Structures are given as C-alpha cells and as structure tokens.
Amino acid sequence: MKTQMEPTRVTSQELLARIENHLKYSRGSSLSSASDVDKLWCLCHAVRDFSIDRMIATQKTYLEKDSKCVFYLSLEFLIGRLLSNNVISLGLQDAVAKVLPKLVPDADGLLALKQDAGLGNGGLGRLAACFLDSLATLEYPGYGYGLRYEHGMFRQDFADGWQTERPDDWLKFGYPWEIVRPDDTVPVLVYGQLEDVGVPGAQPVWVNWQMIEGVPYDIPIIGYGVNNVNALRLWQSRAAEGFRLDVFNKGDYVRAVEEKNWAETITKVLYPSENSHAGKELRLLQEYFLVACSVRDATRRHLKRHKDLTNFASKNALQMNDTHPSLAVAELMRLLVDEHDLPWEKAWGITVQTLGYTNHTLLPEALERWPVALLERVLPRHLSIIYEINLRFLDDVRFLYPGDDAKVRTLSLIEEEPVKQVRMANLAIVGSHSVNGVAKLHSDLVKSQLVPDFARLWPERFNNKTNGVTQRRWLLACNPDLARLITEAIGDRWIRDLDDLRRLEPLAKDTAFLDRFRAVKLANKQRLAAVVLARTGKDIRLDSLYDVQVKRLHEYKRQLLNALHIAALYRRLKANPEMDMVPRTFIFGAKAAPGYHMAKLIIKFINSLGEILERDPDVRGRLDVVFLPDYNVSLAEVIIPAADLSEQISTAGKEASGTGNMKLTLNGALTIGTWDGANIEIAEAVGLDNFFVCGHRAEEIERMTREHSYQPSEWLARDPELKGVVDAIWRGDFNQGEPGLFDDIGRIFTEWGDCYYHCADFRSYVEAQERVSDLFRDRHAWARTALLNVARIGYFSSDRAIREYAEEIWHLKPVPVAMKSLPDNSKT
Amino acid sequence: MSIVLENKEGVGLITLSGTLDASTAETFRQQTGTWFDSSPLLKQIVVDFAAVTFMDSAGLGTLIGLRKQVASRDGDLRLSRLRPNVKLVLEITRANKIFTLFETVEEALKPVE
C-alpha cells in the first residue's frame, strides 16, 4: 500500500491512445481530422482520467476514516489553467512532451488555446485556488465550494487607450476538467414570507417561495506527489421542476421561459469587483445560493456517517473567505433548528464551532451590508434568525456593559441608520470561533481599527494567518528554467517544503551560479518580450529594467503613483536628454471594475503616457510603458518570471496582504514597497538591505487622516518635481489633444484631498527608485540580492499558511491515501 | 396530476400522482374543497404522496389551505409516504410541524386516539 504517489508510469503511447479514444468517443473525431480545440480538449480529458482512481480512493478513504473535513466557501476561485499543474502533479511531463508533437506541429500554439477559468477578480480568488492546491498536497481532507459562473471575469481590451469589456465565454468549448454530479443536486428556496398558519405551538411557515436548484460540478484538485485528489465543487443554478408552470399553462410560453431563465441567471456572471455590491439583489442571491448549496452538501456528507448533526462541528469546518458567504451563519442555524430540531443553544454552539471567518479588507465600501428590506423579501426566514441571534447577543453585551448604549449600537448586527441594514462582518464575527486577517499588520488593524469592540470582547477569537502562494504553480510550473536551476543546486525538496530554498543562500557568493540565475531571468524576459510584441506590437529592450505592477486597478494600490514617477522621469529626460538613466520598461497589467470611473481614467492615463514616450525620440528605448490587456492568471505566469522589480506601493494600511508580492519575490524580482500588508513580513524575511522600502507607515497615514492634517498642496509646494508633474497634467501635456481629459486626475492632488496620499509618498518613492537604479547598474549585485530574496521567501508558501489554518483553526489532520497499486487507468 | 378521493370508513383519503405545483394547485384546491364541503362528517384527511414527484410553494399553499378547512372541524390533515425531495421542502419551510407525517397510508388512516 503506497501513501506516497509513485510516478504515474504512463508511456506516451498510452497517453496518445487515450487521447485518440476521447477524440473518437467523446468528440466523434480522429487525430487526422480533429480541430486543435478538440485535440486540446482530449489531451486535458486524458490527463484528467489519470487522476480519477486517486480521486475515488481519496473520497473512500476520507469516508471510511471518518476524517474531519474543511469546506472552503468562496465566491471566487481564480484557478486559471489547470493543464500544466495537473501534468506536473501526476508526473506526466515526459509523456505529454512526447505526445504533443504527434498532435500538432505547433505545440505552443495548441497550448495557447487553453482558456483561463476566470472565476475570480484578484487576490482573494487566487488565494482560494492556492489553498486548494496546498490542502491536497498536504493530504488534508478539504473541498472548495464556489459558483460555476457561465461568464467569469470580463475580457479586457483597449480602444484608444480606454478599457473596454466583453464577456468571457470560458465554457464555450466545454470544460474538460469538470464532472457533473446531478445526483447531488440540491433545492434552494428564496423569496416569500413567513406566515402564522394558526397552529398552536408551531412556528410560522415559509410560504410563497421560489425554488431553484443547485447542480454540482466537481473539478479534481490533484495533490503533488501524493495520492490525495480533493475537489472543487462549483454550483450551477437552474430552474426547479415545475418552475412557473402556471404561466406555461396559461399559454404565455415566452414569459415562462424568461422566468425560467431568471433562475439560471444566478450563476450567469461573476460580479467584476471584489468590493461593494451594495443593494445588488442578484449578488445577494448568489451569496445565498452558494451558502445554501454548500451547507446542505456538507451536512449530507456528514449524515452518511452519522445519525444526526450533534457532532457536526467535530467533523467539519467551514471557512468563510471574506463576508461574501457569511449567510452561512444563518443558514447553518436554520438547518440545525428548523430541519433537525436542535435546540437553539445547541445549534448555536455547533454553528460557532464549525465556522471560521477570514477578513480580507479594511476598506469601508467592501464591508458588506444588506438592507433589511431586501433580506426580508429574499430570505425572510434568515432575517428572523439574524434578529434572534442579535437579540441574544445584545443581551450578553448589555450584561457585560450595562448602560453602554454606544457599545450596543457598534456591536449590533443591525445598523439602524440611515438605512436599516445587516452588517455581514458582524454576523460573521459573532457566528465564528475564529476571525483572521491575512497579514500581521492587517490582523492588527482588524483588531485596532476595524472592529476594536469585538476584539476586546473576544480576544481569543482573533488571529493572523499570513497569506501564501503555491510554489507548484508560481515557480515549478510557471518558471521551469528557474525551477530546474534550483533543483540542480539543492534538490527538489523545495517543491513540498519551500523553506528549503534557504539552502540557496551560500550560492549568492557563487559567481557562476549567479550568471546562470541571470541567464534564466534573461530567457524569461525574452519570453515576455515575445508576448508583448505579439499583443501590443511593442518591441521592448531585454537589457532594460522590467518594472512590473500587476494587480487589480484600484486607487489604493496606487498605479497612479507609479505613473507619476514615469512622468517625472520623462520630464527629467526632456530637460536633459543626455542624462545617464537606467533603461526601464514599465509593465502594467490590471483590470478596472467596469463602473469605476477613476480606475478606468488611470488606465487611459498610463496608456497615454506610453504613447507619448513611444513617439518621443528623446526617450524611446530608455523609458517604455507597456500595458498588457486582459491581465489574468496565465499572463501573470509569463510576466512574473520576467520581472526585475515588483511594485507593491499601496497606501499603507490599505492592502490586506497582497500575494503578487510573494509570487514576484519567489521568481527573483526585487520589491519596491510600502510598509503595508505582507510587504512588511517579506521585507523582514529577506532583509531590509534587500528590499526597497518607501512611503509613510500606516500609523502615520492614520494619524494624518484622523487629525485632518494632510494637505497635498503643502507637499506639492515642497517638491518642485512633483508640482511640475501635476502642473503638466493640468496643462494637458499627456492629453494628446483632448483638453480636460485628465483633469480629474489633477483634481485628486489639488482639489479632492488626495485621500490615497500620493503626494505624501512621492519623494520617498522616487528616492527608492533611484536606489533601485543604482543597484541595477551593478548587474551582479542585483542578481545576488535577487537570489537572496528567493532563498528567504520560503515562509510565504501557501503550504505554511494552510498548515496554520489546519492546526490552529480547523483542527484538521493529514489523511494519507493509500493505493494498492498504480491506477488501472494508467493502461488504456 | 391525478387526484383520487375516497372515504375510508370515515377517514378521507386523497391519493395524488404527478406534481403538486402552480399548474395543478388550483385543481387540487377546487376538487378537495368541494369534496370536503360535501362530506360534513369527514374530520380526518390523509393525503397519500407516494406518487407525487414534486411540490412547489403553490402546492404547499393549497395543503395549508386544506389543513385550515380540516382544522375548522377540529380535524387532522395527515400526509403519508412523502418522497425525500417533497419531505425536504416541508422541513425547509417548517411545514412539517403543522402536518402529521406518516410512513404508511395504513398508519395514517388509523383514527385519532
């Protein structure tokens, strides 16, 4: 019985035979006549086949051992493409490499057809995907629950420098990794009222609801080097049987179909922003739909092994990724009390012990609040449960703080004014035994600024779990040359234990090794330059410093600060064309929420800057700006290995953690960053001498905000270069003949108070950039510093993060899966 | 949907098959209402759900209405042989607390003690 996975002994002939089998029997085609899409689909399907025995064995093992499981509830799972990772995890690299040329002459072209599963916006969704990878690899029983959005994150194009959006039809050709499970379909009730039907002693009945159904689709999550194959279960909505049949029967076929379609719209589209969906009824339905399907599924699994739910908390953990799934508190209570007849106190104990809540933001607009009137209409029973939870909770608060009405108002689940709303973060905190932030600073700010009264009430509930990224995707798969170099030097243990990268440190003094390290970076820059040329037509210099900022476009992330620096460098060069300047290529990748005017204007501003630089012979080739459209996981996998400099310049106190900072460091980029989020821990890990710190600290920003002492005009007056840039924006230097185009950007600094503190941090940032340039001039010293960054980044593996969650929040133990023999499906 | 109405030694038995939903609820309401009104001695009603594959909120609404009619005679509305998906709907809505549920028709037909 093997618990460590043996390499899957699949020959290329066996793999090819399986592909041909799928071409014939799944697609009705053949190797000679199939389209490239068909071939790719069948390659994926063939690879998936090799995980199925392990997946079945994993489920059987967890069930037989009655293992405690974690269910990770997230509205987003940004899994990107799975082929490369799955091939690596299953040890099929050699077979695939040999088969690809037999499928098509251009293997890269075939692989480029892969569609990203864009089921998320940014950090929060990508974190969830990394966590699933680590759960499986560390042999933890863990499942993801999410939604199968028909349209994931929108596709971004640029038209005259402006962002335009079009739908992402990622399911257009089907999705070979998923397995539909119609037997596990669950009903979900929404809308209606509670009605007292006049039965003595009976509670009001939920009437006049609409029923929709959740159909699960499972995506195997294949652990690396182990037999464990967990699953990501995505729910798709559909109309229940009999949906509006009365309308059908009255002959209004079109209206009936429209209403049927309404049920299906719940999982039609991903909301294109991590923040702020205030009042959006469909979003509320999405959140409840996920929760209702998932909680029922988790309890159904439990009841396979147990007669009731009284020990549910000892066998199951539900982690809420941000407040989006926080209706789980009310739903689990409803299920325990209404459907399983548990007394309220007993049900409440189970609920709190089962649930954990991860906070991801301090931004006020991202703290969800749902109007009571909306909840009452959509989820009447849940609102009554929330009221009951609040009543009992506030009784405790009044007992602890007699006469302190202000405390009661702050802690209440209900915000009374100006509109009566349910505070979902409060609900999540009250209903969970653990509340964690995602970096040390962020967790401290959650306690000190976001919910200080809760932190004083239940200090034991609050904890930190600094984020991490999976090295299997963010080094092994996306940067194979660097992975190979590292493995040659220290072996491959780092793939499962990233701390092992420490053993690279002595090589920072090894000139020959550093030369190879630089050669890998150069090769990755060549790969990126080819992509840039193909997508934008720009030919970028390989010897320039690749200065990279890739992340969602949001003012607090301060892409605009980066742009101000570019504009300042441009003006310096125009004033002194002969000056010595390190050539730089500024590379951006970012999507703006479609309704976020300023974010879209910043994209236009950066693109305009890029055009001006490109047209100007004084700067061409010395300063380049590339804004790659449609930034997604796959593009990140090309950009990140090529980056020299990682821009992590959020306003201090605003970024919860960031994970791009970790990925870029892991791939040998140096960081210029504010003292914010996980930057702080990264800087401490790699050493302050190896990290370019800039900007004000969170406590300084907080003090200026609290005292209303920040006057951007004073900073402008003190800094002629900054003033010159802002004047140039107002003058229209970057407008390209469209007067007033960027006035709103000018207003940020001169009229709107610069609430993200660009002016305050500009000089510090520019000086840090000068230190960057100085170091880059010494390519050897740069490489040495970059290698030290790689060697010291091991802590930021999602394996470490998941181990902390498992041990400290979920109380989960690894469950190795034994296999009697290699999978039968290794033979076709 | 088909509805069969019988008097089983003083207990009303309604045997349904098909779906009890928005398209059939009105028929159910009319037929059972008329029958109940014309059978003044009936106090106990049993609905056999064995062949009911689906019930929506309109269907539940008619059951609640019938229950009120029966209760007005101090009677009892009993549901038997519910399929899991139909029973689940009753549990979610807490309607299972206002009806008496039975595994078999025979048990349900037993007189109230």
Q: For residues A20 and A46, what is the distance between their CA atoms, to the nearest angstrom?
A: 9
Mutation site for A-interface testing, chosen from B55, B72, B92, B100 by largest number of A Cβ within 10 Å: B92
A399 and A513 part of one domain: no
- pLDDT tens across A75-94, in order? 999 999 999 999 999 999 99
User: Any idea which residues of A carry the catalytic annotation?
Assistant: 360, 551-552, 557, 659, 663
Q: Letter for the amino acid at A14?
A: E
Whether residue B89 lies within 8 A of chain A, CB to CB, comes out as: yes
Q: What is the pLDDT of residues A714-771, one digit of tens each?
A: 999 999 999 999 999 999 999 878 889 999 999 999 999 999 999 999 999 999 999 9
**Which distant-in-sequence residues (6+ apart) come within 8 Å of A210 by Cβ?**
A189, A190, A191, A192, A243, A263, B57
Q: Which of A666, A678, A706 is nearest to A437 (CA)?
A: A678
Domain assignment present for B15: yes
Q: What is the DSSP letter of A356?
A: E
- Put simply, whether B57 touches A (Cβ < 8 Å) is yes
- Do A495 and A460 lie in one domain? The reply is no
* Whole-number Å distance between alpha carbons of A581 and A564: 17
pLDDT digits (tens, 9 = 90+) for A349-405: 999 999 999 999 988 777 899 999 999 999 999 999 999 999 999 999 999 999 999
The string of DSSP codes covering A281-297 is HHHHHHHHHHHHHHHHH
pLDDT at A828: 29
Residue A55 is assigned to a structural domain of this protein: no
> Are both A416 and A550 inside the same structural domain?
no
Rounded Cα distance, A805 and A464, in Å: 10
Q: What is the pLDDT of residue A2?
A: 59
A366 and A493 co-located in one domain = no
Looking at the fold, whether A389 and A506 belong to one and the same domain comes out as no
Q: Which residue has the tokens 């509109």?
A: A419
Q: Searching chain A, which residue's CA lies closest to the CA of residue B57?
A: A208
Interatomic CA distance for residues A30 and A223, integer angstroms? 32
The CATH number that applies at residue B94 is 3.30.750.24
In chain A, the residue whose alpha carbon lies closest to the alpha carbon of B71 is A199
Q: CA A279, CA A421: separation in Å to the nearest integer?
A: 10
How many angstroms separate the CA atoms of A379 and A362, rounded? Answer: 27
Long-range contacts of A99-103 (CB under 8 A, 24+ apart): A99/A12, A99/A15, A99/A16, A99/A19, A99/A43, A100/A43, A102/A12, A102/A16, A102/A31, A103/A19, A103/A31, A103/A39, A103/A43
Is residue B113, in this structure, part of any structural domain at all?
Answer: no
Residues A455, A495, single domain; the answer is: no
- B5 touches A: beta carbon within 8 Å: no
Q: Which of A677, A662, A634 is nearest to A470 (CA)?
A: A662
Quote the pLDDT of residue A251.
64
Strand-pair category, A645-648 with A545-550: parallel
Yes or no, beta carbons of A205 and B98 under 8 Å apart: yes
Inside any domain, residue A21: no
Averaged pLDDT score across all residues of chain B: 94
- Residue A476, in any domain of the structure: no
Considering the domain architecture, whether residues A521 and A414 belong to the same structural domain is answered as: no
* A516 & A410 share domain: no
Q: Which domain holds residue A457?
A: 68-81+116-467+808-812
CATH of the domain at A311: 3.40.50.2000
Residues A561, A434 within the same domain: no
Count of domains forming chain B? 1
Total count of residues recorded for chain B: 113
Is residue B49 situated within a structural domain?
yes
Residue A573 has pLDDT above 50, yes or no: yes
- Please state, rounded to an integer, the average pLDDT across all residues of chain A: 94
For the ranges A54-63, A267-276, A376-385, A502-511, which has the lowest average pLDDT? A267-276
Whether B21 contacts chain A with CB within 8 A:
yes
- Residue A737, pLDDT score: 81
Question: Which of these, A147, A132, A294, A145, lies nearest to A222 by C-alpha position?
Answer: A132
What pLDDT does A275 receive?
Answer: 63
Across A193-207, A585-599, B49-63, least confident range: A193-207
Write down the pLDDT at residue A242. Answer: 58
Residues A337 and A288 grouped into a single domain:
yes
- Other beta carbons within 10 angstroms of residue B111's beta carbon come to 10
pLDDT digits (tens, 9 = 90+) for A216-238: 999 999 999 999 999 999 999 99
Q: How many domains does chain A have?
A: 2
Cα-Cα-Cα-Cα torsion B78, B79, B81, B86, nearest 10 degrees, comes to -160
**Does B27 contact chain A (CB < 8 Å)?**
no
Partners of A462 in beta bridges: A435
A190–chain B nearest CA distance, Å = 11
- A464-474 average pLDDT score: 98
Angstroms from A386 CA to nearest CA on chain B? 17
Percent of chain A with pLDDT over 90: 87
Mean pLDDT across the stretch A511-537? 97
Query: What's the CA gap between B90 and A244, in Å, rounded?
Result: 19
Tell whether the model's pLDDT for residue A3 goes beyond 70: no
Tell whether A283 is covered by a domain. yes
A40: in domain: no
Q: Tell me the chain B residues in contact with residue A248 when contact means C-beta distances shorter than 8 Å.
A: 23
- A505 within a domain of the structure (yes/no): yes
> Would A156 be classed as within a structural domain?
yes
Q: Per-residue pLDDT averaged across B62-88, rounded? A: 95
Mean pLDDT of A108-119: 81
User: Tens digits of per-residue pLDDT, A648-686?
Assistant: 999 999 999 999 999 999 999 999 999 999 999 999 999
Contacting residues for A473 by C-beta, under 8 A, at least 6 apart: A80, A85, A130, A133, A637
- Please give the pLDDT value at position A650: 98
Residue A279: phi, psi to the nearest 5? 75, 5
User: Is residue A450 one of the residues assigned to a domain?
Assistant: yes
A462 lies in the same domain as A493:
no
Please tell me whether residues A435 and A520 are part of one structural domain: no
- Predicted pLDDT of residue A7: 54
Helices (H), A458-510: 471, 480-490
Which residues in chain B are contacts of A245 at CB distance < 8 A?
19, 21-23
pLDDT tens, residue by residue, A289-339: 999 999 999 999 999 999 999 999 999 999 999 999 999 999 999 999 999
- Domain hosting B41: range is 2-107
Q: Has residue B112 been placed in a domain?
A: no
pLDDT of residue A201: 84
Amino acid at A328: A
Check residue A706 and give its pLDDT: 95
